[in-house]
Amino acid sequence: KKYQEGMKKTRNSFSGKLNDLIARYRKVDEDFFEELEEVLITADVGVTTVMDLVEELRMEVKRQNIKDTNGVKDVISEKLVEIYYGDDNEKIEKLNIQNEGLSVILVVGVNGVGKTTSIGKLAHQLKQQGKSVVLAAGDTFRAGAIEQLEVWGERANVSVIKQSAGSDPAAVIFDGLKAAKSRNADVLICDTAGRLQNKVNLMNELSKVKRVIEKEIPGAPHEVLLVLDATTGQNALSQAKTFSEATEVSGIVLTKLDGTAKGGIVLAIRNELKIPVKYVGLGEQIEDMQEFDANAFVYGLFE
């Protein structure tokens, strides 16, 4: 229900345009495909992904001998889902949380994308699932970041391990690991500073943090989540590229999907970067985040 509500803008825009296209064309021809490409690109599906998709669609339409545009809707949905998953057909790609021992989640992303909010929402969700959660305030760089994380810690009712502003993020996260272990916590979520201006610095900082984590907990971090703002469109895609060059990203949190009609970015991210979108942000409140399900997303577009 919330999901449908949060996706309203994308859904209205996309299904409106698509239905209009189908009504106007009736016959599936080259012009139809060209206009369909435009509709998809406008929804931020991304040029490369659109080209892949429409090529697949052409072949499928030929194979099934579809002449009428009404018959093409289902094929579009099927192909969108296929494009999303690529070769690995897993349906919902769950967060990697260990059954035993401490799971460590590192959260990265540039300022303003909704990183702090998403950490708060995630802590809340994990708590709802009966997990005990600790947060580490590893963004020691941005003014107010620590205090803001503390506010979310209070909302989610989890403790926040911190040092003063400007201190070494790796040291804060080290403290977080110690605290989480001594409290027998299930999950430690580590905030980090997202300075993209200098890729070398970013890379060094993240690898230092990762070394500290690995040393304390072999096999950790279990997730490196990159937070991206859906309203920034193709810019989000380029941020994802830069971050995945700096560190191994295991999943995406795509925020503010409620604020854009261009939700197609989710397909571009998966198809072009091969990184699964694990959560989508659909509002500013603590409950407004959901696991991403490509089937529900794609079929929701046509309702």
Q: Which residues are annotated as a binding site?
A: 109-116, 191-195, 255-258
Q: How many CB atoms are closer than 10 A to CB 136?
A: 30
Q: How far is the CB of 251 from ligand GDP (least distance, A)?
A: 16
Is 214 among the residues that bind ligand GDP (CB under 6 A)?
no
For residue 259, which phi and psi values (nearest 5 degrees)? Answer: -100, 10
The piece of 41-49, 100-108, 205-213, 280-288 that touches ligand GDP (CB under 6 A) is 280-288
CA 88 to chain centre: 18
Residue keyed to tokens 């989540």: 225
What is the crossing angle of helices 294-301 and 72-85, to 10°?
150
Least distance to ligand GDP from the beta carbon of 289, Å?
7
CB of 22 to ligand GDP, least distance (A): 31
> Taking a C-beta distance cutoff of 8 angstroms, is the pair 21, 34 a contact?
no
Compare residues 39 and 120 and give the one whose CB is closer to ligand GDP: 120
Other CB atoms within a 10 A radius of the CB of residue 269 amount to 25
Pick between residue 153 and residue 283 the one whose CB is nearest to ligand GDP.
283
* CB-nearer residue toward ligand GDP: 16 or 112: 112
Distance CA 57, CA 206 (A): 41
Based on the shown chain and the rule CB under 6 A, indicate whether residue 278 belongs to the binding site for ligand GDP.
no
196 binds ligand GDP per the rule CB under 6 A: no
Residue 256 in contact with ligand GDP, rule: CB under 6 A: yes
Strand ordering across the sheet containing 103-108: 159-161, 133-136, 187-191, 103-108, 223-229, 251-255, 277-281, 289-291
Question: If we measure between CA atoms, which residue out of 153, 204, 197, 198 comes closest to residue 179?
Answer: 153
Q: Is 281 in the site for ligand GDP (CB under 6 A)?
A: yes
Distance CA 217, CA 136 (A): 15
208-236 per-residue burial string, b: 16 or more CB within 10 A, e: under 16: ebbebbeebbeebbbbbbbbbbbbbbeeb
Work out how close the CB of 10 gets to ligand GDP at its nearest, in angstroms, rounded to a whole number: 13
Binding-site positions for GTP read 109-116, 191-195, 255-258
CB 110, min distance to ligand GDP, A: 7
Q: Under rule CB under 6 A, how many of the chain's residues touch ligand GDP?
A: 17
Nearer to ligand GDP (CB atom), residue 201 or residue 285: 285
x/- letters, 87..126, toward ligand GDP (CB under 6 A): ----------------------x-xxxxxxx---------
Could you tell me the smallest distance in angstroms from the CB atom of residue 112 to ligand GDP? 5
CB of 190 or CB of 217, closer to ligand GDP: 190
Q: Per CB under 6 A, which region of 48-56, 87-95, 250-258, 266-274 contacts ligand GDP?
A: 250-258
The answer to whether residue 260 forms part of the interface with ligand GDP (CB under 6 A) is no
Does 202 engage in binding with ligand GDP (CB under 6 A)? no
Cβ atoms of 72 and 62 within 8 Å: the answer is no
Which of 188/193 has CB closer to ligand GDP?
193
Cβ–Cβ < 8 Å for 290, 282:
yes
Nearer to ligand GDP, 114 or 138 (CB): 114
Cα diameter, the chain: 67
d(CA 274, CA 234): 16
Footprint of ligand GDP on this chain (CB under 6 A)?
A: 109, 111-117, 255-256, 258-259, 281-284, 288
